[in-house]
Structure 1
Amino acid sequence: MDDEPDLEVFSDDEELARDTTAVGLASGRDIQGIPWHLTQYTRESYRHSRNQQYNNYMNLEADVAAAKPAVAAAATKTRPAPMYGFYRSWRQVSTSIVHFQLRNLVWATSAHDVYHVRENKVQLWNSVAQRLTKVIDVSGGPGGGVAPGLGKIQLCTLCAKEGLVVGGGFSGEVVARRQGSQDEFSCSMRVTHSDNGITNAIEIYRPAAAQVRVVCSNNDDLVRAYDASTFQLVSQYRFPWAVNCTVAQPDGGRLLCTVGDHPTALLYDAASGRQVAELQGHADYSFAAAWHPDGNVLATGNQDMTTRLWDIRYPARSFALLQANISAIRSLRFSSDGAFLAAAEAADYVTLYDAASRYRRCQEIDLFGELAGVSFTPDGGRLFIAVSDTLYSSMLQFDRLQNQRRWRHSL
């Protein structure tokens, strides 16, 4: 809202009583606080109905249908395993989704600090203080923030790394703020004037022996890299299709992986743009990718309702094929130690996979609502999941189980 204060503090008992805690969940309360006893459904019956009726969006529906038998035959067989335990659903935190295919709208930068997008603003949630702080406001209008030279921006993607918070806009805008800075904007620019130039994704990484880079993936078929200290263009590479996500190889970012409006993912040298490999196997467009911290393993998520795992040293085929429940994989994140992969669907399901089992052990987190994003904390100790919903929007927190080492040794 335009009259929303810069700081919101939630402390009264009535507000906090809306949250579901681990104790409440164990006592039978719904994980999102949904009062099933007041509806015509049980949770189980609505889950079944939702699974049957949810309409997954695809661009290449015929290709996905043709590939379905082969995918079913090759899919990695998984077994359930506990990895993260539910802690709390923070109902004070709500998120907004501008573009239904873009869900990288949540980034945790500490054990308690989570950046997220809400109504043309980037906000910071601190779970210890139970406080929301407005970080970037591009809502425009009376009393609303205006990015210099840009005006109102529909924020559709976000990244928070390396001391920077960077948002991308629906008309090719990029706005940034340095964490802790008193300056409202460290950067305010339009990277493209194309009529179809949506900034689909932002990546921030630190190249070896170079300044931090901000990489913009846009719908105008270009990947652009900027020096994060000056926001001057360093490089740009053109693709034969709209670019939906680009991620940098850990420890120096020597390689980039780009996915977009094509089933093939491309690996290429970040400095020269020279193509290194094509990763072929998906049947539709991809909107998500993530590198394992070892720099050799890469995950790609697709509208064909699969996640594929690739060893880039052997790029001819994926070594694991993970099936989603009801919809496209819209967001992928590895924990910082590489132990876990979180795969978020467009709605309702986030699945955690254990890397040590070659992704054969998994934990399925079952919710209701469109998912704005997922993020591990930098130490991997927590996982935040943002549900964007009219009535039950919340930020759910899961904590890594203390018995992790014991059950992993039983593999």
Structure 2
Amino acid sequence: MLRNLLWATSKHDVYLTQNYSVMHWSSLLSRGNEVLNAAKPIVPTLKHPGLLSESVSRVQISTMAVKENLLVAGGFQGELICKYLNQPGVAFCTKITTAENAITNAVDIYHNQSGSTRITTANNDALVRIFDAESFTCLNRFSFDWSVNNTAVSPDGKLLAVLGDSTECLIVDAHSGKLTGNMKGHLDYSFALAWHPDGRILATGNQDTTCRLWDTRNLSKSLAVLKGNMGAIRALRFTSDGRFLAMAEPADFVHVFDTESEYVECQEIDIFGEIAGISFSPDAAALFVGVADRTYGGLLEFNRRHYNSYLDCVF
């Protein structure tokens, strides 16, 4: 699966997709509750002139993101759903494209350079859309030559990394969409990407079973190539302190690299089943892995361990 269906907002709060629902799991209370039911008709609560909002129903969720009280989910028919976690109902929902193959492949929530909250969507119609997270109006559309599988905005809000059904990965200006750089080296289509917190290193995951690391100051050649065991690299996550990079294959394997060892030291987590998503807690104390297997599916938590008084640690 190329989609991100898991998100941790704290060490004790995890959001994950289950069928047509988004569930919140509390490890403190050891119980879950439904925060979004997309099987039933959803009527948006936020309405104002010019807002292209519409009711949606029976949305099969393809991707999601949760940050700062905002949950954003995408659907297999091009749907976009936005909900404030502390308010009842859904604030905004719509079908952002009517293209035949309209799947929303990825969504993200970020702050632009002025501090305003924005939402990005990446779709198979080869467009990236930028929405305002308060009014939910579409502020911009960036067009590409291929289906867009994922996007991510740099920590400073200036750059937007874009990849999809192409061997090339692109970096564009997050405000204008103007191309600022491209990365060549992958052999197949790309699915995953993640920015290091320092904003200089970008990781990209590809169908060729590798993750490549790029220094945005010199994109002529990748810094390193990290290899999976069997499948495409479908999810990538850095810890908030930049110390670790987690890399997930479609099934069975999650790899955790120590960035201070120049990505040489790695712990391999061997599980059973399709991986629905990976997420570090914001404090980098825990790694959560969603398993989508019908029989053995569930949520796995791995906690960071410290040995003695030095900084050698594993998950």
TM-score (norm 1): 0.72
- Bigger Cα Rg: 1
Query: How far, CA to CA, are the matches of 1:352 and 1:219 in structure 2?
Result: 30
Instruction: Give yes or no for the alignment of 1:139 onto 2:39.
Output: yes
3-state SS of the aligned residue for 1:329? coil
Instruction: Give yes or no for the alignment of 1:375 onto 2:274.
Output: no
**Deviation at residue 102 of structure 1 after TM alignment:** 2.5
Query: How far, CA to CA, are the matches of 1:320 and 1:303 in structure 2?
Result: 17
**Deviation at residue 210 of structure 1 after TM alignment:** 4.2
Residue 122 (structure 1) aligns with: 22
Instruction: Give yes or no for the alignment of 1:203 onto 2:108.
Output: yes
Residue 159 (structure 1) aligns with: 65
Conserved? CA contact 2:237–2:279, under 8 Å:
yes
Q: Which of the pair is proportionally richer in helix?
A: 1
Give structure 1 regions of 4+ aligned residues with deviation exceeding 3 angstroms.
145-148
CA, structure 1 residues 381+322, in 2 after alignment: closer, same or farther (shift >3 Å)?
same
Which of the pair has the greater relative contact order for Cα pairs under 8 Å at 6+ separation?
1
Number of aligned residue pairs? 303
Q: Which of the pair is proportionally richer in strand?
A: 2
Instruction: Give yes or no for the alignment of 1:221 onto 2:126.
Output: yes
Alignment of 1:146-185 (within 5 A): 146-148=42-44, 149-181=55-87, 183-185=88-90
Structure 2 residue corresponding to 1:361, chosen from 265, 279, 292: 265
Conserved? CA contact 1:162–1:205, under 8 Å:
no
Q: Amino acid of the residue matched to residue 155 of structure 1?
A: I
Query: How far, CA to CA, are the matches of 2:142 and 2:159 in structure 1?
Result: 13
Q: Deviations over 1:353-375 (max 9, x none)?
A: 01111101100000110000000
Q: Amino acid of the residue matched to residue 90 of structure 2?
A: F
Q: Amino acid of the residue matched to residue 146 of structure 1?
A: I
Alignment of 1:39-118 (within 5 A): 101-118=1-18
**Deviation at residue 384 of structure 1 after TM alignment:** 0.3
Give the RMSD, CA atoms, in angstroms: 1.3
**Deviation at residue 393 of structure 1 after TM alignment:** 0.8
**Deviation at residue 285 of structure 1 after TM alignment:** 0.5
Q: Which runs of 5+ in 2 are unaligned?
A: 45-54
TM-score (norm 2): 0.94
Identity %: 45
3-state SS of the aligned residue for 1:356? helix
Query: How far, CA to CA, are the matches of 1:174 and 1:185 in structure 2?
Result: 11
